[in-house]
């Protein structure tokens, strides 16, 4: 029986930094998740993410109420206004990973962190980043 592996990466941003840069929107998101899951005792961004990140990261955000989706979109938009970076929710199930994984469970990551160099611009769409894993 064969196994498949893939290399993944994310530019992870600490939740504390997101709270610092978008405090009102974080509060709104936490409140929306807490209202949807009153039995879970949601009290901060990390606990809110822990409840919803798997579905959001997998594109199954229709499992959550409109209030939660709207609050997340507001938070992501505000973070983008403040930083110029896109904010994404990620989720990694440690059961699907390996001993060297640097993320576990819910996390926040950014996009648009890096740009192509002037020398590389003519090759956008031609050169492809390829990843692999090695065993042994």
DSSP 63-95: GS-HHHHHHHHHHHHHHHHHHSSEEEEEEE-GG
The candidate with the shortest Cα–Cα distance to 107, out of 8, 24, 12, 22, is: 12
Residue 66 counted as domain residue: yes
pLDDT digits (tens, 9 = 90+) for 95-113: 887 788 889 899 999 998 8
pLDDT digits (tens, 9 = 90+) for 62-82: 667 899 999 999 999 999 999
The two structure tokens encoding residue 14 = 């600490």
The rounded mean pLDDT for the chain is 88
Q: What pLDDT shows up at residue 9?
A: 86
Residue 81 counted as domain residue: yes
CA distance 75 to 13: 14
Residue 3 counted as domain residue: no
**Domain limits for position 89:** 11-123
Residue 135 counted as domain residue: no
Domains held by the chain: number: 1
What confidence tier does 3 reach under pLDDT thresholds 50, 70, 90? low
Residue 2 counted as domain residue: no
CA distance 107 to 85: 16
Report helix, strand or coil for 13: strand
Report helix, strand or coil for 22: coil
Residue 35 counted as domain residue: yes
Residue 42 counted as domain residue: yes
Residue 43: pLDDT over 70: yes
Residue 116 counted as domain residue: yes
Instruction: Give phi and psi for 64, each to the nearest 5.
Output: -105, 155
Q: Which residues contact 19 (CB under 8 A, 6 or more apart)?
A: 26, 45
């Amino acid at each position: 029986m064969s196994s498949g592996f893939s290399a993944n990466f994310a530019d992870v941003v600490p939740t504390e930094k997101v709270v610092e840069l978008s405090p009102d929107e974080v509060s709104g998101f936490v409140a929306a998740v807490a209202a949807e899951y009153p039995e879970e005792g949601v009290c901060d961004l990390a606990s809110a993410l822990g409840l919803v990140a798997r579905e959001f990261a997998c594109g199954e955000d229709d499992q959550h109420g409109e209030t939660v989706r709207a609050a997340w979109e507001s938070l992501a938009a505000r973070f983008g206004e403040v930083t110029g970076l896109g904010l994404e929710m990620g989720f990694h199930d440690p059961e699907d990973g390996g001993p060297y994984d640097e993320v576990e469970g819910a996390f926040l990551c950014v996009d648009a962190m890096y740009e192509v160099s002037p020398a590389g611009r003519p090759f956008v769409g031609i050169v492809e980043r390829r990843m692999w894993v090695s065993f042994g």
